[in-house]
Amino acid sequence: MMITDITCPGELADTVARIGFLPFFKNEIPGFSIEEHCPPRLWFTNEPGPWEWKGPVIKTGTCAYGKFFRGKAVYVSLEWLPHFCNYRRDGYDFDARCDDGLVYYRDREIYEAIADAGKISSNELRQKVGKDTDKYLTRLQMQTYAVNSDFLYGRDKNGKSYGWGTAEFSTPEYLYGDVVRSRYDVCPADSYTAIFDHIRGVLKNCNEKALHRLLK
C-alpha cells in the first residue's frame, strides 16, 4: 500500500498524484480512502481538516474531484483523468451523446447551465434550473461531464470561514482543457483495463471483484 498518513492539503495532493485515485470515504477495499489515512484529530476541530482541504487541493490543478465511484467523492489525478473520462464517457463528448439521444433532458439542462457559466455554485444552479439537481449532478459527475471546481464558505466579521461549504461545479474541459479528451483514441474498454490494473498494482492484494464494483 502506497498510502501513508495524510495531515495537510499538500500531502493529500501529493498522495493523489502518486497513486492516481483516492476515495474520500471508506469503501469495500480496506485502506483505500482518505478517511482511513487522516488522523481523527483533524476531522472535527476548529482548524482546517479534510473537509476544508477540498478546495485548496482542487485549486492545485493536479487532480479532479467529484462523485466518481458509486456516487461517492473521489480524487483523480490529472495523469489518470483522460483515461477515466474516456472510459466513463465511452468516447462521447456531451454534444455527441445528445445527438445520439443518450442524454436525459434534465441532465442536458444542468450541464448547459454549468458549461455556460464556467463555474457555478450549487445554490446558483438550483436558482437557474430548479431544486431537484442532486441526482442529475451525481450522474453527470459519474459520467465525468461535471466536476467540483471549489467549495465556497461564508466569512465571519473577522474574515474566518465557517460552515460546511457550498459546492461549486464546472466541466473538466473548463478546468483542465482538452487534456481530458487526450485518450479518446483508446478503446474505452482498454482505458478501463489500464485503470483497473493500475489501482490493483497500487493496492496489491485487494479484492478484484470489489475493485470492479467500485469502478463500474
pLDDT at 158: 67
Closest CA to 24 of 180, 208, 209, 16: 16
Q: Is residue 182 part of a domain?
A: yes
The answer to whether residue 108 is domain-embedded is yes
Extract the residue ranges of the chain whose pLDDT is less than 70.
1-2, 157-159, 162-163
pLDDT digits (tens, 9 = 90+) for 162-171: 667 899 999 9
> What is the structure's pLDDT at 6?
95
Q: How far apart are CA 198 and CA 187, in angstroms?
A: 17
pLDDT score, position 64: 98
pLDDT for res 115: 98
Is position 4 within any domain? no
Q: What does the pLDDT read at residue 164?
A: 76
**Residues 77-100: pLDDT tens digits?**
999 999 999 999 998 999 999 999
- pLDDT tens for each residue of 169-189: 999 999 999 999 999 999 999
Domain membership flag for residue 83: yes
Q: Is residue 3 part of a domain?
A: no
For residue 124, what are the domain limits?
9-215
- Counted domains in the chain: 1
Q: Cα(171)–Cα(186) distance, rounded to whole angstroms?
A: 21
Residue 2 within any structural domain of the chain: no
Question: Does residue 1 form part of some domain?
Answer: no
In a domain, 81, yes or no: yes
Looking at every residue in the chain, the average pLDDT score rounds to 94
Q: Which three cell numbers stand for residue 172?
A: 473538466
